[in-house]
Amino acid sequence: MRFITAGESHGKALTVILEGFPKGVKIVDSAINSELEKRMSGPGRGKRMQIEKDRVEILSGLRNKVTLGSPIAMLIRNNDAKIDPQAKDSLAEKNVARPAHADLAGALKYGEKDINNILERASARETAARVCAGAVCKQFLGLFQTKVASYIRQIGDYQSNKVVKNISSIIAKTKNSQMKALDKKDEREMIQRINQAKQDKDSLGGVIEVWVETVPPGLGSFMHFDRKLDAKIAGYLMSIPAIKGVEIGAGFNYAKNKGSESHDAIYYAKDKGYYHKTNNSGGIEAGVSNGEPIVARIAMKPIATLEKPLDSVNLRTKKKQKASVIRSDTSAVVACSLVAESMCAIAITESYLDKFGSDSLGQIRSNYKNYLKTLK
């Protein structure tokens, strides 16, 4: 399975094509729309989210709501469309690169002076298209009782100290939290920091923890570097705009603890097969899922566009100038958590299809059932 997105932030629409998705899976667009709505939400989102009402139009790949095995094309129309590919638009030229955005590196790469031609594609708006693909994959994974969920662990200097036991508790605790926080205190502290940053004309990043549960052991492979499940997940997560750090399981803490206190001992019980009592590995050992929940954490840097801009340089005059100030978010960590879930759902779906076949749901189901029998 593979997917490709297209679309500029202020173009007519965002599109995604998901190719290699199996035949026979019922897909409901309301489940995609509910993920899109969540991606638009969260404290710190900017004015654009009041203009848009992201909704998916499924264009191909399904008949009577069931996948055909053909490419699934999906589209989200932009309300704030300013670019018509066949006409001259009225976007004013922008020449001052914003530090930490794609503006300068992109302008140098493409020999460009007008950063509109860089930022339109580099904008995180593209991630709405990924959420459509992720929402389709979540519906496939749901057929195997595999769920993907996330919560916000840190905003700025406030870090939650709550310990999470399983994915059900994440889903239950974050259900009514606009901040996707684990409890009221976390939510209050996080929102307070975002409000303060807004008042200070600043921006804030944070840490998101993503869980995938239940995952069969044996997804991914230790046989070759590019088949490792942790490498795939880390790469997919790192591809999300503004992500600068990825950890699986105990991650960087492994470096400071001894082996005897780090590694997850192995147990066996007749009813549940092999299992671990701890999960420092984050559900992946040697690039292969071990049956425990997959746990990944990502660090998102603060939004690049600042209302109180940093020093920069005008790309036409090469003179010092404050960075361009354009409409933006104060924080988009909650939005990013939906994108992170989507990228994990896509990575895990690909791994399922690698292991159990990819043509039709019936064949995948039967291979899956037979494989599970071998595990105990």
Q: Which residues bind ligand EPS (CB under 6 A)?
A: 9, 46, 48, 80, 101, 123-125, 128, 303-305, 327-329, 332, 335
Residues paired with 34 in a beta bridge: none
Which residue number, 182 or 335, has a Cβ lying nearer to ligand EPS? 335
Q: Are 106 and 122 in contact (CB under 8 A)?
A: yes
Phi, then psi, of 322 in degrees rounded to 5: -70, 145
List Cα–Cα distances, 252 to 184, 246, 255, 278, in angstroms. Answer: 28, 10, 6, 17
Q: Provide the minimum distance between the beta carbon of 218 and ligand EPS in the complex, in angstroms, as a whole number.
A: 36
Nearer Cβ to ligand EPS, position 127 or 358? 127
Of the two residues 135 and 303, which places its CB atom closer to ligand EPS in the complex?
A: 303
Task: List the beta bridge partners of residue 26.
Answer: 66
Q: Which is nearer to ligand EPS, 41 or 363 (CB)?
A: 41
Residue 296 bridge partners (DSSP): 210, 248
- The residue (of 160 and 331) whose beta carbon lies closer to ligand EPS is 331
Instruction: Please report how close the Cβ of residue 187 comes to ligand EPS at its closest, in angstroms.
Output: 21
- Short-list 215, 180, 221, CA closest to 344: 215
Residue 7 and residue 11: Cα distance in Å, rounded?
A: 6
- Least gap, CB of 146 to ligand EPS (angstroms): 26
Q: What is the nearest approach in angstroms of ligand EPS to the Cβ of residue 241?
A: 7
Q: Cβ 41 to ligand EPS, closest distance in Å?
A: 11
In angstroms, what is the minimal distance from the CB of 313 to ligand EPS?
19
Give the nearest distance from C-beta 94 to ligand EPS in angstroms.
12
Within 8 A by CB and 6+ apart from 200, the residues are 308
Strand partners, 360: 23
Question: What whole-number distance in Å separates Cα of residue 130 and Cα of residue 110?
Answer: 25
Cβ nearer to ligand EPS, comparing 33 with 360:
33
Considering the complex, state which of residue 115 and residue 348 has its C-beta at the smaller distance from ligand EPS. 115
> Can you list the positions of beta strands (E) in the chain?
2-6, 13-19, 56-58, 62-63, 66-67, 72-77, 147-155, 158-159, 206-213, 243-248, 266-269, 273-276, 284-285, 288-289, 294-300, 311-313, 320-322
